[in-house]
Homo-oligomer: A and B are copies of this chain.
Amino acid sequence: MPNKILEVKGINIPKTKLGQSKMDKLLSASEELFAKNGFYGTSISDICKRAGTAVGTFYIYFETKTDVYKYLMETYKKEIKEHLAESIRDCTTRYERERNGIKCFIKYAMTKPNVYNIIWGSLSIDRQMFVDYYVSFADSYSRGLTKDGDEVSIGDTESIAYMLMGISNFLGLKAIFKDMTDEKIDEMIDETVMPALTGGILK
CB within 8 Å of B: which residues of A?
Answer: 38-40, 94-95, 98, 116-117, 120-121, 123-125, 127, 131, 134-135, 138, 150-156, 158-160, 162-171, 173-174, 177, 188, 191-193, 195-203
Contacts and interface: CB of A to CB of B under 8 A. Distances in A.
Contact of A153 (B117, B135, B174, B201): B201
Number of copies: 2
28 contacts: A40-B124, A40-B125, A95-B202, A117-B124, A121-B123, A131-B177, A152-B201, A153-B192, A153-B200, A154-B199, A155-B195, A156-B188, A159-B192, A160-B196, A163-B167, A163-B171, A163-B193, A163-B196, A163-B201, A165-B166, A165-B170, A166-B168, A196-B200, A197-B200, A197-B201, A198-B201, A198-B203, A200-B200
Contacts of A177: 131, 134-135
A202 B191 contact: no
